[in-house]
Amino acid sequence: MSVELWTWIVVLLSFGLYIGIGLWARVQETEGFYVAGRGVPPVANGMATAADWMSAASFISMAGLISTLGYDGTIYLMGWTGGYVLLAMLLAPYLRKFGKFTVPDFVGDRYYSQTARIVAVVAAVFVSFTYVIPQLVGVGTVFSRYLGVPSVTGLWIGVIITALFAVIGGMKGITWTQVAQYIILIIAYLIPGFAIAAILTGNPIPQLALTFSDIVPRLNQLQTDLGFAQYTQPFQGLSMLNVLMITACLMFGTAGLPHVIIRFYTTPTVRDARASAGWALLFIALLYTTAPAISVFARYNLINTLNGKSIEEVRQIDWVAKWEKTGLLRFVDKNNDGNLTIAKGRAFNFIPGTTRPDPNNPDTTSANEVFINNDIIVLSTPEVAQLAPFIIALVAAGGLAAALSTASGLLIVISSALSHDLYYRVINPKASEAQRLLIARIGILLAVLVAGYFGQNPPGFIAQLVAFAFGLAASSFFPAILLGIFDKRTTSQGAIAGMVVGLVFTAFYIIGTSYYGMPRFVFGISPEGIGTIGMLLNFAITIAVSRMTPEPPKEIQDLVESVRIPRGAKEGHYH
Amino acid sequence: MDRAKAEGYWKANISLIRNLLIIWAVVSYGFSILLVQPLNAINLGSVPLGFWFAHQGTIIVFVVLIFYYVAQMNRIDRQFDVDE
């Protein structure tokens, strides 16, 4: 059977499974819709959080990105894991004890202010929308790469599937679908990882193969021979300050992202909320420690397979021919010697205004004759390792699972911010349970359709979207929630001032330096890392303004004391 | 519950968090970024140590820190009689 047929079978089976879970998990009440009835056991919540967390970008692009960045790729490896330590200790247990539905719920109640609630709604919706758009684009990409379906069609298939299980099953449906999605994506990621480790080093455990085989010294040597810096050499693309700032921004941003935070509302007890942060990071770490190993193996293998070989010869290799056809791999014989040379610099100039190579316009300032798209590192691994077509099909299903699980987690945040926080808590507090549930379902349907529209017509700043999401989460929610729990003296005025200044400063810096040629006026910090400074500003302003304004009312101080104590949380029943 | 007990519980929690977050920061910002160059002079297996922390070790330390915190907090919860 062909790879494409296998892929259709595996993808359709996985979609059937997701819809089946959605039907099984259909919910009748808002508690089920928003927080899965608080019945998710910690290991399952860990898997759901991991799937929620690991996006299309983590699955498809991260290993490739790291293989280009070398050491500097640590910004993603540490940045997208370190936040869980903060979540486990500083946020998750207390928010679970607080026991409402959303992040704006906490901000609005703790800061006894509808203004604070609305600021939080705006930030939650904006952050989640910026993040969901690339996910849907990712669904389209997987469909087009593996199945030859136009990416726009693929995107809408993804939208419909997500809408089906999310509207019926709410958070409960999303959670258990994410558990299934995690299992599919991690198997799809690890099998090729094991296989390529075994082939290149003789040790099938990628983490051990990376550390104890001689693959890293061999890659370093290869890089030196070709005129590149060594792979392990730090600060080649980014300064030490920027590595520090970006890593911190991604960590604190993780801890401030609403779709991650609300996962901890779904456990039966406070103790389970803490434990599920541990399980979540363990499940994430399985992929995040494998990815840098794949980066090394794939880079070594690509250079070794291509450099100095004749173009005729490498085109005989199946995977080379296949990926050259898609344009993810491109060759140009600049010196007409019939052989490929890999060197520093670009093989092709970019198509003006994009970062895509123009195949008709070789960059003559460099000797490099090979263009390698980052995504190829993960996509080609199973073929390089000569795995069965079934496994290649599984990788496609894994990529889709990663994108859909993250998209659905974000959509529930958008829907709950609009239908719970805005409609129920601000506009119509007398709404009946049935009305609220209906509004919630309409909310998620609207959210997925709007996100689909933007996925099809992505805004021009799509490349900066991730920087936006993390920067804004770090500079708004993280300080507001942290101080809300750990500092009783933090007042409504302080928190609002801090959030507004953090958001405005961070957005201004990102937009100004990315689009309006503004110099990087804060120590040359790149826009990806500026959220760290926005967060520090937020902390400083919140603390200062709080000391100048009257202390919070007694019942708020009591609320803070109560969230600090685990006992007395409204217990959920395990599903 | 009485005030002194609540305060004692919170203090125990804060001091545990402080200690663990110091390790968190030293390993991630310290070993993996600020001190990566000197640590790279040492090898772990066949990989420079600073690089190994940045790409492997720190993530493993993060996981261990959370599970240690969970275990300690379960103990402290019982000790102060605030467990669920």
Task: Provide the chain B residues 44-83 that lie in CB contact (below 8 A) with chain A.
Answer: 44-48, 50-52, 54-56, 58-60, 62-63, 65-67, 69-70, 73-74, 77, 82-83
Sign of CA dihedral B34, B40, B41, B44: positive
At A151 the pLDDT is: 87
At A381 the pLDDT is: 87
Residues of A in contact with B1 (CB under 8 A): 565, 567
> To which H or E segment does residue A349 belong?
strand A348-350
How many angstroms from the chain centroid is the CA of residue A500?
Answer: 25
At B1 the pLDDT is: 65
**Stretch B12-24: mean pLDDT, rounded?**
98
Residues B54/A74, Cβ–Cβ less than 8 Å: yes
Residues of B in contact with A93 (CB under 8 A): 73
Inter-chain touch A244–B34, beta carbons under 8 Å:
yes
> To which H or E segment does residue A357 belong?
strand A357-362
At A309 the pLDDT is: 93
Q: What are the φ/ψ torsions at residue A228 (nearest 5 degrees)?
A: -90, 165
**CA-closest candidate to residue A37, choices A517, A515, A575:** A575
Gap between the Cα atoms of A361 and A370, Å rounded: 13
The SS3 of residue A430 is coil
User: Which value, in Å, is the radius of gyration of the alpha carbons in chain A?
Assistant: 24
pLDDT in tens, chain A (575 residues): 788 899 999 999 999 999 999 889 888 889 999 999 999 999 999 999 999 999 888 898 899 999 999 999 999 999 999 999 999 999 999 999 999 899 999 999 999 999 999 999 999 998 898 888 888 888 888 888 788 888 899 999 989 988 888 888 899 999 999 999 999 999 999 999 999 999 999 999 999 999 999 999 999 999 999 999 999 999 999 999 999 999 999 999 999 999 999 999 999 999 999 999 999 999 999 999 999 999 999 999 999 999 999 999 999 998 898 888 888 899 999 999 999 999 999 999 998 877 788 999 999 999 999 999 888 888 888 888 888 888 889 999 999 999 999 999 999 999 999 999 999 999 999 999 999 999 999 999 999 999 999 988 877 666 667 778 899 999 999 999 999 999 999 999 999 999 999 999 999 999 899 889 899 999 999 999 999 999 999 999 999 999 999 999 999 999 999 999 999 887 778 88
Sole residue written with tokens 């990416």: A151
At A514 the pLDDT is: 85
Query: N- to C-terminal Cα distance for chain A?
Result: 40
Residues A472/A503, Cβ–Cβ less than 8 Å: yes
Residues of A in contact with B29 (CB under 8 A): 244, 247-248
Residues of B in contact with A78 (CB under 8 A): 28, 32, 54, 58-59
Nearest-by-CA chain B residue for A97: B84
Number of A to B CB contacts under 8 A, please give it: 139
ipTM surpasses cut 0.90: yes
**CA-closest candidate to residue A447, choices A80, A251, A174:** A174
- Give the list of residues 6+ apart from residue A156 with CB closer than 8 angstroms, or none: A452, A456
Residues A477/A260, Cβ–Cβ less than 8 Å: no
At A461 the pLDDT is: 63
The SS3 of residue B81 is coil
Residues of A in contact with B32 (CB under 8 A): 74, 78
User: Which token pair is A49?
Assistant: 């959080």
Residues A301/A236, Cβ–Cβ less than 8 Å: no
Inter-chain touch B59–A78, beta carbons under 8 Å:
yes
Gap between the Cα atoms of A264 and A409, Å rounded: 12
Q: Does B27 contact chain A (CB < 8 Å)?
A: no
